[in-house]
Amino acid sequence: MFQKPRRPRPYSNGKVEPITFAKLNEETEGRVNRISEEFKNGFTLLEASKLSVTFWGSARTQSNDPDYKKAARLAARIHKELGYAIITGGGPGIMAAGNCGAYDAGGKSVGLTIKLPHEQTTNLCLTHHMDFQYFFTRKVCLAFAAEAYVYFPGGFGTLDELFEILTLVQTKKIAPAPAIILVGKSYWGGLDTFIRKHLLKGQKIDVEDLNLYTITDNEDEIIQLIKKAPIRKRE
């Protein structure tokens, strides 16, 4: 279990006892070891998933929302037609929709959950899961070696995750390029306009970078994009 660094002990005269270099090194080494263990266990879990698609989107999306229903339906099709595992953050909203769609269809449903000070809501549609202590190790594992990334409407977290993946692909830190699919023209169209108007015209990106992602509402097109995506090496 993760242990918080101990507070410096006060001297008898009320002054704070300084932390020694030896103590700092001990706590640093312990934390690095825990991070390494999370990466090792996370990658082992994901490597066993073979072909996979990572779903992203708002944790606030309700089960009666059209986006929720579409995510569940799409996840079921991805399993039935392609045999891919569905990977999410394991929480509610779009994550639950993706996991439950795959689970109900008899597919592999993976959740990478996070330990929080307050109770973490984990959806009940997971065939495999792992709890993470650190957000950044979880985030790296969610981005690791998927054949496709499917983004439904979401908030700051979804946007953060989208631009991280786009940056990794643009800078060739992820190769070969996976399918990056933004579901919902009415939601993602404004972002696309901003990218073209400000980033492209301002020469902040190249015109080829616009090909890194696809915006669509068509489920058949999404299935074909995933099907055509290069198989990623798990090495």
The domain locations on the chain are: 30-228
**Helix 94-104 with 66-77: angle, nearest 10 deg:** 40
pLDDT in tens, 1-52: 444 445 545 544 556 566 676 766 777 887 889 899 999 999 999 888 889 9
pTM: 0.85
Average pLDDT over residues 59-71: 97
Contact 138, 95 (CB under 8 A): no
Average pLDDT over residues 83-100: 96
Distances (CA, A) of 136 to 99, 140, 143, 154, 193: 22, 6, 11, 19, 30
Average pLDDT over residues 95-105: 98
pLDDT of residue 120 exceeding 60, the answer is yes
Average pLDDT over residues 224-232: 92
Q: Which helix (H) or strand (E) holds 226?
A: helix 219-228
* pLDDT value for 175: 73
pLDDT in tens, 136-185: 999 899 888 799 999 999 999 999 999 999 999 999 988 777 899 999 99
Average pLDDT over residues 113-137: 86
30-228: which CATH topology? Rossmann fold (3.40.50)
